[in-house]
Amino acid sequence: MTRMLFRDDPYRGQAPAHVSGHTPEGGIVLDATLFYPTGGGQPGDSGRLTWAGGEVEIATAVKADDAIALVPAEPVTLPPVGAEVMQQLDWDRRYAHMRMHTALHLLSAVMALPVTGGSVGAGRGRLDFDMEEPPADKEALETRLNAFVDLDLAVSEDWIDEAELDANPGLVKTLSVRPPRGAGRIRLIRIGEDTRQVDLQPCGGTHVARTAEIGHLRIAKIEKKGRRNRRVTLRLDD
């Protein structure tokens, strides 16, 4: 099982590790990794591995049973099992994902409707909502969204067991993706505290520590994607 360093500290951009194996597809498995694997609408991280006598560009990371496999950008000689490597994230891309992922949680709080799909990008992201008619006032929606950003709310994690989640089904906003089960615990992302809490939902992704880090947001467009489905696309202003 790969230790998830991105879960311990999402702001860490460099760390050593040891190669614990290779996948049949040519992926590299480390004993501990900074690279977030594709999942929950968030892309896998990219970056680089270096070791004595070699280096490889990493295009993405994916889940591989109980491990995380780093996928080379092109076929190369892989670091041998047991080798010590240095991991280096494409930090600008990761941080953009963190900002956008937290922004989409805020959007779900502002819209307060069931989510039917979503995608996190670097600078751009979207959520699909179970909604027959588009919002009457897009500018008012954008203003409310940026008000949450400007409050500089703390973003934190909590953990509950599966029985607690079953007792509180309203925590799950997504209709298309359910929280992973079987490990006994479910990770929650909380935005705000006490009376200033604005959102709480299951999530395995990486997030900023405070909403002010997101920066100003724009609602790029609202599209009809079916009789009861509207897609809201966000953009980071910088």
> pLDDT tens-digit profile of 132-149?
888 888 899 999 999 999
Question: Which 8-state DSSP code applies to residue 193?
Answer: -
Do both 70 and 22 map to the same domain?
A: yes
C-alpha atoms less than 13 angstroms from C-alpha of 222 in its C-beta half-sphere = 19
Tell me the percentage of the chain whose pLDDT exceeds 90.
Answer: 76
Mean residue pLDDT of the chain comes to 92
Task: Please say which residue of 34, 56, 89 terminates a domain.
Answer: 89
Task: Please say which residue of 69, 89, 109 terminates a domain.
Answer: 89
DSSP string, 70-90: EEESS--PPPPTT-EEEEEE-
pLDDT tens string 70-90: 999 999 999 999 999 999 999
At 23, list the tokens: 């996948």
Question: Which 8-state DSSP code applies to residue 37?
Answer: P
For residue 155, what is the domain's CATH number?
3.30.980.10
pLDDT tens string 28-62: 999 999 999 999 899 999 999 999 989 999 999 99
This prediction's pTM: 0.93
Do both 218 and 110 map to the same domain?
A: yes
Q: Report the pLDDT value the prediction gives residue 84, as an integer from 0 to 100.
A: 98
Do both 51 and 20 map to the same domain?
A: yes
CB neighbour burial string for 72-103, b if at least 16 within 10 angstroms, e if fewer: beeeeebbeeebebebbbbeebbbbbbbbbbb
Answer whether residue 177 shows pLDDT above 70.
Answer: no
Total domains in the chain come to: 2
